[in-house]
Each structure stands twice: as C-alpha cells, then as structure tokens.
C-alpha cells in the first residue's frame, strides 16, 4: 500500500500564485481586446442582458428597461434592447440627429405608457366609486394618450428602420 503524497504550505502558496497570475493575464488580455473595439460600431454581447457597443455599455434591467451608460454614467433607460443598441450605434457613427430622434421618441413613448397606466387605474377607481363624470374625463384622456402613443410608435419605428441601414463598411475611409 502506497502513502498519499502530502502537500506542504509552500506548494499551496505556489499554486495560488500561479492561479492569480493566470487570472490576471486573462483579465489583461480581455481588457486589451475589448479596448480595440472602443471606438468602432461593434456590438459585443456579454450574456443575454449585457452588451458593449463602442464605448457604451447596455445593461438589461428587465424586459422593458435597457440602461445605456458610458464610463459608468447612465445616459438613458430605453424601452427596448433594439432602441438602446441602435442609439449607441448611431452615436458611434456620429449620426447624432438619428440618435437624438431615437432618444426623443423613446422618451415620449415611456411617458405615454406611464400616462396610460395612470388613466387605466383612474378609470377603474372612478368606476368602482360610481363617478361617471371622472370616468368620462379619464376615458377621453386615455383615448387621446392611446392615439399619441400610436403616433409615437410609428415615428420611432420609422427612425429605427432608417437607422438599421447604416453603412458600417468602409470605416476608415478606405477605397476598394
């Protein structure tokens, strides 16, 4: 019967040092590779709810909230992942008018969604209290907000469709 090899403290310390060096090397390599794409319109997915788009970072808070930040500073929380990523891509490509439109329509759509939720709750409470006048007022506001929401969705979709067709080729003004 053979004896098991005993390990000493020096071997454990040496193994920890090698492990730490390996982890540090991987971190440096990853950071170096990610920094190569900092100013390029490249979408790098990190899992399902996190993306790097140039210098921007897109984090999925939940299904209807996608937080865009640059240098750990929050720019905006978008309603959809597509809006957030296209906003970042248009900013990286210096198409600021498109990014401004995406931001503006997404912001309006968010406010209209909140208004619609409020009006829905108000209509239900007025209906439970048998307050017909308040119910009519809230119903008219709800219909108006629903029409404005439809217009905002149409404008946002139009802006997104035009932003989808950004030419990402020839990034360095190269001629073929």
**pLDDT tens profile 65-105:** 999 999 889 999 999 998 999 999 888 888 889 889 999 99
In a domain, 18, yes or no: no
Report pTM.
0.72
pLDDT-above-90 percentage for the chain: 40
What is the residue range of 110's domain? Answer: 36-164
In a domain, 23, yes or no: no
DSSP state of 6: P
Question: Rounded to a whole number, what is the distance in angstroms from the first to the last CA of the chain?
Answer: 73
In a domain, 15, yes or no: no
Given the structure tokens 């759509």, which residue do they identify? 109
- Strand segments, DSSP code E, in the chain are 43-45, 50-53, 56-62, 65-70, 73-78
Domain count, the chain: 1
In a domain, 40, yes or no: yes
The predicted pLDDT at position 6 comes to 56
In a domain, 45, yes or no: yes
């Amino acid at each position: 019967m053979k004896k098991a090899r005993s390990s000493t403290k020096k071997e454990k310390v040496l193994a920890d040092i090698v492990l730490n060096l390996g982890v540090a090397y991987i971190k440096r390599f990853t950071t170096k590779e990610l920094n190569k794409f900092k100013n390029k319109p490249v979408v790098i997915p990190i899992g399902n709810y996190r993306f790097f788009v140039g210098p921007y970072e897109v984090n999925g808070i939940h299904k209807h909230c996608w937080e865009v930040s640059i240098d750990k500073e929050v720019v905006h929380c978008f309603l959809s992942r597509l809006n957030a990523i296209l906003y970042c891509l248009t900013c990286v490509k210096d198409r600021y008018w498109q990014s401004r439109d995406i931001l503006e329509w997404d912001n309006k759509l968010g406010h209209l969604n909140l208004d619609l939720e409020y009006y829905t709750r108000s209509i239900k409470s007025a209906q439970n209290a048998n307050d017909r006048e308040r119910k009519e007022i809230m119903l008219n506001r709800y219909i108006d907000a629903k029409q404005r929401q439809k217009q905002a969705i149409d404008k946002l979709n139009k802006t997104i469709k035009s932003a989808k067709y950004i030419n990402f080729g020839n990034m360095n003004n190269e001629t073929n």
